[in-house]
Amino acid sequence: MTEPSSTNQHVRKQRGFLQHLFSAWTWQMAWRDSRTSRKRLLIFSCSIVLGIAALTAIGSLGSNLERAIEEQAKALLGADLALSSRQPFPAEADDLFEELGGNQSREISLSTMVYFVRGEGTRLVQLRALSGAFPYYGDIETVPVEAAVEFRKGGGALVEENLLNQFGAKVGDTIRVGKLTTKILGELKKVPGESVAFSTIAPRVYISMSDLPQTDLLRQGSLANYKVFFQFPPQKDVSKLVDRIKPRLDKLRLSQDTVEKRKRELGRAMDNLYHFLNLVGFIALLLGGVGVASAIHVHVKQKLGTVALLRCLGGSIAQTFAIYLAQGMALGLFGACFGAALGVLIQSLLPRILSDFIPFAFQFHTSWLAITRGVGIGFAICLLFALLPLLSVRRVSPLEAIRASFQSHAGKIDPLRWLVMGLLAFGIVAFAISQSRNWRIGVGFAVGLGIAFALLTATAKALIFVTRKFTPALPFAWRQGLSNLHRPNNRTLLLLLSLGLGTFLMLSLYLVQQSLLTQLVSTGGGKDQANTILFDIQADQREGVTNLVQSLNFPILDEAPIITMRILSLKGQSVESMMANKQNGISKWSLRHEYRSTYSDHLRDGEKIISGKWIPQVAPDTKVTPISVEEGVAKELHLGLGDEIVFDIQGVPVTNRVASLRQVEWRRIQPNFFVIFPRGILDDAPAMDILVTRVPTADDSAKLQREVVKRFPNVSLIDLRLILETVNSIVNKISFVIRFMAMFTVATGLLVLVGALLTGRYQRIQESILLRTLGASRGQIFRILFMEYFSLGLLGALTGILLALSAAWALSHFVFHIHFSPQLIPLVMALLSVPAFTVLTGLLMSRGVLNQPPLAILRSEA
């Protein structure tokens, strides 16, 4: 009978507590009791506003993206089906296309140089020759509008908007592509399914398919991509059609793209963006939650006398706890509602900020479901953080509160406290997993965040311990400032959390960005390193291009022939049988890939044999050719030393044996290949050459480009400096988006910092009153405050810098696989600016202490 009785009693207590919590008397008491603390509590309530605003704004963005992808699905591809190949379509493929029927359009794209006749400017572009009515869904947007139709008739081109801006060209000007001289008919604004960031990397020029032969760019070995687009009747199931013809597509080595596939790929990309931004916003919310917990902690300690009075007047524990829980709930509800309102304003900015990375336009609608979700998550986090200090109210008896209002109960185990902490940890992990859609990434994010919080907390605790135990031999004002770090009700922990976390986030993002750019620059920035590549050089042009480069006094740093080939069989098994076998673990990409290989009698500086033996030359009649394979592709193809691989080299099967495995430094600006043949076996095969040189200045590069375009129109040139500028532009755009979200966390940290200083202001004034009464000057009090804030700012900066260095190294090493090379200047700037800002903010919050005499302070504050 004991257990049921105990259970019933527990249920009755819970029911009684809920009755107290939702009674009008409780909320009236909560309102009256908060009169002296409302401003301070509202300031801390604002600390969660930005986190909730971020969650609601990003939630609405995600809903709008999902709706837009669904509504504009077909415009993402521009057709129902697209088939592509790196080789001209064979007769069998044309037969297949005829069977498929429907409306068809064709496109041939290749990289080449464009020459602006009026300004004599040149630039590497992606040339696209188009026939048919593609796109069938969506539009190619141009200025003027009619240019999207006119260019299809021949005799004109569409040129990317940013390309025209770069060279100061305009509609009506003349350009030369290969041997074709034509007029610019329109400015290309947008192509279905492609973002602005894509066009920044590869500016596009569209011409009619009928004009392509006049360019004389398609030659043996030219790097071109061939596509055919289909539009079918609405009732046709394209997915089933693709499944039916899949064996034939694999045999012909045709890649396929459908609306559903494009939706999935774009949906995943948008999901990754959406979930990442959401996680960054969630960090701001958690930091705001810490601020709320601190505010409630101080508020409860100041209200222990009121708690004692209520208990003495007959108030139960449930009634008393309900009053302060109601205050915490009101605090969270105010922050959640205000944050949601701010989120609705912010959400209209996000599409503009992210427009370069979203390949379609969409109308923005407020998602009330996302707002409700953001408000719910924010309120729950705020309530859980507020509960941690509120639970101590339950353990205050009237006698304890009257005798010692600051009696500690830390030594007593409180199961509810552990339950709340467990719920908080579970909620953080669950949210991280739900946003990343990968439990490993989610758990990793939560653990990393926990480590950051733990290190900052440990640093604060260590600072408090050291300043309490060790008093350095310093002047009085400096000693007093350090002693303030461990005084009762100090804000050391909260301030270090806000300062350290803000420094950590912003600095780690900057360090990763700089490492990426430094790595790119280092690959081609040395005075003796290559910075210009010429490719698509035909065999009969090799000598002429070489002489041209040397006549301009530029060195020939490297050159190599490129021969295209496909795999016929691996270790005696045909590619078709291996692609049909889904259990072998070999990706279809590596089996269908068109390998661009070379022959050589030497290794380059960025190559190293890691197993086997390098064979530089063989006899022309060798039956089985010993080849060297790059270690990564060998692993992908499950190849080892001695394994046989048969290549189809322009219709001729060549049997080979893996004689060595190579490690290749792909970031070097030099010809790098998956497969290298020895000299002697492929010397007479049709090949395209690549040549690497270095030009000292941008003017020299422009001169070389003009001469190459005039004399060898089919030869393309890559200027590494221009590529670096393009990459830098894209990285800066991405960094801006990330920094925009990180600013939510930094701004939250600043609010928590200001709120923490304000909550300690009353006690600080009382201490200053005592010091002024005992004869301390304004200068001494100023130095005390300066030392305290400077110590907090310096330690917060140091901890944030160490965390940022660790995070940036981990991202560089494990995510981007680059060498981490931190720069000293941003570290020094953080080390100087964070303490300076902390001191400035702290002194501004304490200005009333310095500007009034002791008597005025006693009268106004005591």
Q: What is the pLDDT of residues 201-243, one digit of tens each?
A: 568 999 999 999 999 888 766 778 999 999 999 888 898 999 8
Which tops the pLDDT comparison, 186 or 28?
A: 186
The percent of residues in the chain predicted with pLDDT above 70, rounded, is 81
Question: 370 with 491, same domain?
Answer: no
Q: Same structural domain for residues 448 and 476?
A: no
Residue 362 pLDDT: 60
Give the pLDDT of residue 598: 94
Mean pLDDT of the chain, nearest integer: 80
Q: Are residues 644 and 759 in the same domain?
A: no
pLDDT in tens, 446-477: 887 788 888 888 888 888 888 888 777 778 77
- What are the backbone angles phi and psi of residue 696, rounded to the nearest 5°? -65, -40
- 564 backbone dihedrals φ, ψ, rounded to 5°: -85, 145
- pLDDT confidence of residue 6: 55
Number of domains forming the structure of the chain: 4
Q: Are residues 120 and 199 in the same domain?
A: yes
Tokens linked to 359: 């390949």
**Distance in angstroms (rounded) separating the CA atoms of residues 731 and 737:** 10
Question: Whole-prediction pTM value?
Answer: 0.63
Domain-embedded: residue 706: no
Distance CA 528, CA 549 (A): 16
What is the mean pLDDT of the segment spanning 77-81?
Answer: 88
Q: Please, what sign has the CA dihedral across residues 427, 432, 438, 443?
A: negative
Q: Are residues 449 and 503 in the same domain?
A: no
Q: What is the mean pLDDT of residues 768-788?
A: 77
- Is residue 295 assigned to a domain? yes
Is the per-residue pLDDT at 834 higher than 80? yes
- Is 43 a residue whose pLDDT tops 50? yes
> Which of 176, 207, 235 marks a domain boundary?
235
Return the SS3 of 314: coil
- Report whether pLDDT(527) > 60: no
pLDDT at 39: 72
Tell whether 598 and 747 lie within a shared domain.
Answer: no
Taking Cα atoms as reference points, which of 567, 547, 577 lies closest to residue 559?
547
Q: Residue 170 is encoded by which pair of tokens?
A: 């305009």
- Are the CB atoms for 394 and 321 separated by under 8 Å? yes
Task: Label residues 112-136 b or e (16+ Cβ within 10 Å = b).
Answer: bbbbbeeeebbbbbbbbbbbbebbb
Which of 677, 693, 709 finishes a domain?
693
Query: Range of 298's domain?
Result: 1-74+244-457
Q: What is the pLDDT of residues 408-449, one digit of tens each?
A: 444 556 787 888 888 888 888 887 777 666 677 778 778 877
pLDDT of residue 524: 45
Coil, helix or strand at residue 471: coil
Query: Nearest to residue 276, comparing CAs of 728, 742, 749, 748?
Result: 742
**Tokens representing 625?**
């050719």
Phi, psi dihedral angles at 518 (to 5 degrees)? -65, -40
Cα separation of 330 and 103, whole Å? 62
User: Does 173 share its domain with 43?
Assistant: no
Q: What is the largest CA-CA distance in the chain?
A: 107
**Is a pLDDT exceeding 60 seen at residue 407?**
no
Flag whether pLDDT at 150 surpasses 90.
yes
As a whole number of Å, the end-to-end CA separation of the chain is: 58
pLDDT of residue 324: 82
> Is 548 a member of any domain?
no
* pLDDT tens figures, 618-639: 999 899 999 999 998 999 999 9
Q: How are beta strands 103-116 and 573-574 bridged, if at all?
A: unpaired
pLDDT exceeding 90 applies to what percent of the chain?
A: 22
pLDDT over 80 (residue 284): no
Of residues 805, 707, 759, 803, the one with CA closest to residue 120: 707
Confidence band (pLDDT; 50, 70, 90) for 515?
confident
Are 437 and 513 found together in one domain?
A: no
Instruction: Please state, in angstroms and rounded to a whole number, the distance separating the CA atoms of residues 814 and 818.
Output: 8
One domain for residues 298 and 274: yes
Q: Is residue 673 part of a domain?
A: yes
Can you read off the two tokens belonging to residue 330?
A: 């009101």
pLDDT bracket for residue 751 (50, 70, 90):
confident
One-letter amino acid identity for 838?
A: T
Of 211-220, 242-251, 713-722, the one with minimum mean pLDDT is 713-722
Residue 99's pLDDT is: 92
Residue type, 807: A
What is the C-alpha separation between 50 and 744, in angstroms, rounded? 6
Cross-strand partners of 524: none
pLDDT at 406: 44
Cα–Cα nearest to 195, from 173, 171, 147, 162: 162
| C-beta separation of 281 from 744 below 8 A | yes
- Per the domain annotation, does 845 fall within a domain? yes
Residue 801 to residues 491, 496, 552, Cα–Cα distance (Å):
21, 13, 49
**572-586 residues labelled b (16+ CB within 10 A) or e (exposed):** eeebeebbeeeeeeb
- Flag whether 535 is in a domain: no
Q: 654 pLDDT exceeds 90?
A: yes
Question: What's the mean pLDDT in 836-844?
Answer: 84
Q: How far apart are CA 741 and CA 346, in angstroms?
A: 11
How many alpha carbons fall within 13 Å on the CB side of residue 712? 23
Q: What SS3 class is residue 307?
A: helix
Q: Pick from 413, 324, 420: which is nearest to 380 by CA?
A: 420
Residues 552-588 have pLDDT tens digits of 999 998 999 999 899 999 999 988 888 877 777 888 7
Residue 147 CA to residue 167 CA, distance in Å, equals 20
Residue 470 CA to residue 486 CA, distance in Å, equals 12
Task: Give the mean model confidence (pLDDT) for residues 811-822.
Answer: 73
Helices (H), 253-367: 259-302, 304-312, 317-347, 350-353
Nearest to 555 by CA among 682, 739, 704, 672: 704
CA–CA gap between residue 698 and residue 680 (Å, rounded): 39
Contact indicator for 178, 217 with CB cutoff of 8 Å: yes
pLDDT-based confidence at residue 270 (cuts at 50, 70, 90):
low
Residue with tokens 């804030």, as numbered in its chain: 789
Question: Taking the mean position of all CA atoms in its chain, how far away is CA 659?
Answer: 41
Contact 288, 47 (CB under 8 A): yes
Same domain? For 21 and 114 the reply is no
Is residue 284 located within the same domain as residue 342?
yes
Distance between CA atoms of residues 795 and 797, nearest Å: 5
> For position 644, what pLDDT does the model report?
95
User: For residues 595 and 353, which has the higher predicted lDDT (pLDDT)?
Assistant: 595
H-assigned helices in 597-719? 631-636, 698-711
70 exposed, middle or buried (CB, 10 Å; 0-12, 13-18, 19+)?
exposed
Which amino acid appears at position 15 of this protein?
R
Highest mean pLDDT among 60-69, 354-363, 775-784: 775-784
Strand partners for 675? 629
For residue 497, being part of any structural domain is answered with yes
Lowest mean pLDDT among 2-6, 369-373, 804-808: 2-6
Which stretches does DSSP call E strand in 586-704? 595-599, 607-612, 625-630, 644-649, 652-664, 675-677, 688-693
**pLDDT higher at 76 or 77:** 77
- 250 within some domain: yes
- The residue written with tokens 């046709």 in the block is 236
Instruction: Tell whether 285 and 207 lie within a shared domain.
Output: no
